[in-house]
């Protein structure tokens, strides 16, 4: 027997003896169960195995799912997929690794990423303490060695990072949201205001609407449970409004679950949502947000609002100045409190000019890509005042926590966001509560991959009981 084996056995014997003595002192009714639980708490948990597989996201496109094992059990997580269905990469976000074999899922399979988890990442992480999230994430970053995680794939790294976070929470015997709050050093827990997608357009739907989404924020709710009810009721009233005006075929939905009637103008969509809100009777308790995603229809220095129309006349081009005027008018005519990506992702000048008008929250998505360097530039130049956080644009839980801190230190709003390619994974719900983001964007109040996030928030609110705090009117200033 080696010295190390002797020491390990001696330590185990001491722990067993301590457990027996504790059972005697406690006069345990079931000494065997008591000793078993005591030993389970006394022996630190380590990662024993990491196993990945290929699954399908909400669009039927492959993504990575991971089972991470410790002596506490198995913890599963899956990575969402970005808008990219090919294999190119953007300049600012982490890279999804896809196989490129056109004979398998049209080239979008993720067997390479799965193999990286099962071989390289598993070997690096086995034996590590799951509560040490930053060390786990750094080990994967060091193993990848590229700036944007292009060697192992962000889809591989993120799935492991989230699974490890769940394992860490289990080791500490606390809820996931509490563990995330501990990792960030936060002492507050806040249920976020949901931004429900009601109407889909842009690349997400087959209608002629240029902008990507029209959403509602039930900031007047008193609890998240009430906010979800308000969102659901408005969604179903909107369906009735659309059927009345366009017929049943107008109720087809986009990728995020929003309705996609054949509308072409901003005002036409906003009028439908305004009518649906009126029918609910909630009125001023519900506000409106829009995701313009203007990069999709920016043509040089102009914005083509008819870019999806099959019969476009070429007359509906707007300059950036025209767009600022339009946004000001819309915010006056409708209860719009938030606009996402109002200009092209590289048009910092006009985004800043519009943001400085302080008419509404200006959210950076394509503008920022959850990239800390672009965020720092936007903070220094006062370009926008809110971050749309997509954790797979960064790649690890630790880095996501860091960019949220960066945004909050700048007194920005933070919107924890889903992706167009989603799974039943509900991680961002706990993430939003643990970091008190104040806002969450997870799609329409329908489709299971979207409702997985909203339903998890219901469970968290119930678990917190009297300690549950819904951001509500403080949706931008949550602590």
Taking only the tens place, the pLDDT of each residue in 25-68 is 877 777 777 666 655 655 678 999 999 999 999 999 999 999 99
| 18: pLDDT strictly greater than 70 | no
Exposure string over 194-222, b if 16+ CB within 10 A, otherwise e: bbbbbbbbbebbebbbbbbbbbbbbbbbe
User: For residue 477, what pLDDT band results from cuts at 50, 70 and 90?
Assistant: confident
At residue 13 the predicted structure's pLDDT band, cuts being 50, 70 and 90, is: low
pLDDT of 85: 41
| C-alpha to C-alpha distance for 93 and 245, rounded to whole angstroms | 41
For residues 198 and 156, what is the distance between their CA atoms, to the nearest angstrom? 32
**Of 25 and 79, which is predicted with more confidence?**
79
Is 390 an annotated catalytic residue?
yes
The per-residue pLDDT for range 178-227, each reduced to its tens digit, is 999 999 998 899 999 999 999 999 887 888 899 999 999 999 999 999 99
User: Which residue is catalytic, options 239, 308, 390, 441?
Assistant: 390
Asked if the model's pLDDT at residue 469 lies above 90, the reply is yes
Per-residue model confidence as pLDDT tens digits over 132-145: 999 999 999 999 99
State the pLDDT confidence band at 352, using cuts at 50, 70 and 90: very high
Which phi and psi angles does 81 have, rounded to 5°?
-115, 145
**What would the mean pLDDT of 219-248 be, rounded to a whole number?**
97
Q: Which two tokens stand for residue 24?
A: 């005697």
pLDDT, residue 307, reads: 86
- Chain-centre distance of CA 354, in angstroms? 26
Asked about 256 being catalytic, the answer comes back as yes
Q: Which of 256, 347, 366, 385 is catalytic?
A: 256
Q: Which two tokens stand for residue 388?
A: 């749309």
For residues 460 and 430, the answer to whether their CB atoms sit within 8 Å is yes
Architecture per CATH, 183-474: Alpha-Beta Barrel (3.20)
- Whole-model pTM: value is 0.90
pLDDT in tens, 265-287: 899 999 999 999 999 999 999 99
The string of pLDDT tens digits covering residues 297-346 is 998 889 999 888 777 656 678 999 999 999 999 999 999 999 999 999 99
**Mean of all residue pLDDT scores within the chain:** 91
CA distance 214 to 187: 33
Min mean pLDDT across 350-354, 368-372, 475-479 is at 475-479
Whether the CA torsion 347, 350, 353, 358 is positive or negative: it is negative
**Spatial strand order in the sheet of 298-299:** 298-299, 302-304, 317-319
Q: Where are the domains of the chain?
A: 3-42, 47-173, 183-474
Which residues make up each annotated binding site for Mg(2+)? 291, 340, 365
Q: Which two tokens stand for residue 252?
A: 């087809």
CATH for the stretch 47-173: 3.30.390.10
- pLDDT tens track for 429-444: 999 999 999 999 999 9
Angle at CA 477, nearest 5°, toward 475 and 479? 110
Packing angle of the helix pair 348-355, 372-381 (nearest 10 deg) = 50
The annotation places the binding site at 291, 340, 365
**Nearest residue to 156 (alpha-carbon basis) of 197, 105, 210, 99:** 99
pLDDT at 40: 60
**Residue percentage of the chain with pLDDT more than 90:** 79
């Amino acid at each position: 027997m080696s010295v190390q084996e002797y020491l390990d056995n001696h330590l185990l014997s001491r722990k067993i003896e301590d457990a027996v003595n504790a059972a005697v002192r406690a006069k345990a009714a079931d000494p065997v169960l008591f000793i078993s639980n005591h030993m389970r708490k006394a022996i630190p948990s380590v990662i024993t195995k990491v196993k990945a597989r290929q699954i399908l996201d909400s669009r039927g496109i492959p993504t990575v799912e991971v089972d991470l094992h410790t002596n506490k059990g198995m913890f599963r997580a899956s990575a969402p997929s970005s808008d990219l269905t090919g294999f190119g990469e953007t300049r600012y976000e982490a890279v999804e690794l896809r196989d490129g074999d056109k004979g398998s899922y049209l080239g979008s399979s993720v067997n390479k990423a799965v193999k990286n988890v099962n071989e390289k990442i598993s070997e690096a992480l086995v034996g590590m303490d799951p509560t040490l999230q930053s060390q786990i994430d750094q080990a994967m970053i060091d193993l990848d060695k590229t700036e944007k995680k292009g060697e192992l794939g962000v889809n591989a790294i993120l799935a492991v990072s989230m699974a490890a976070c769940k394992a860490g929470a289990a080791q500490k015997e606390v809820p996931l949201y509490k563990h995330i709050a501990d990792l960030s050093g936060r002492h507050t827990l806040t249920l976020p205001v949901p931004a429900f997608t009601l109407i889909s357009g842009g690349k997400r739907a087959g209608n002629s609407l240029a902008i990507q989404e029209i959403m509602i924020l039930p900031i007047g709710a008193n609890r998240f449970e009430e906010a979800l009810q308000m969102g659901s009721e408005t969604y179903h009233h909107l369906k009735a409004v659309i059927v009345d005006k366009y017929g049943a075929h107008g109720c087809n939905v986009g990728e995020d679950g929003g309705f996609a009637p054949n509308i072409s103008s901003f005002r036409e969509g906003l009028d439908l949502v305004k009518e649906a809100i009126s029918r609910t009777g909630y009125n001023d308790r519900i506000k409106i947000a829009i995701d313009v995603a203007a990069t999709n229809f920016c043509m040089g220095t102009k914005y083509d609002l008819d870019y999806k129309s099959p019969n476009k006349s070429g007359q509906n081009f707007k300059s950036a100045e025209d767009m600022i005027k339009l946004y000001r008018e819309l915010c006056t005519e409708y209860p719009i409190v938030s606009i996402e990506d109002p200009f092209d992702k590289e048009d910092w000048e006009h985004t800043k000019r519009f943001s400085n008008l302080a008419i509404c929250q200006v959210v950076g998505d394509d503008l920022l890509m959850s990239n800390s360097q672009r965020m720092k530039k936007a903070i220094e130049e006062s370009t926008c005042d809110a971050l749309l956080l997509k954790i797979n644009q960064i790649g690890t839980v630790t880095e996501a926590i860091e960019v949220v801190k960066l945004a909050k230190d700048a007194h920005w709003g933070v919107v924890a966001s889903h992706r167009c390619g989603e799974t039943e994974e509900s991680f961002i719900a706990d993430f939003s509560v643990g970091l008190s983001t104040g806002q969450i964007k997870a799609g329409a109040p329908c489709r299971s991959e979207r409702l997985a996030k909203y339903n998890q928030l219901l469970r968290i609110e119930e678990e917190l009981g009297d300690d549950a705090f819904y951001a509500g009117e403080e949706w931008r200033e949550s602590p």
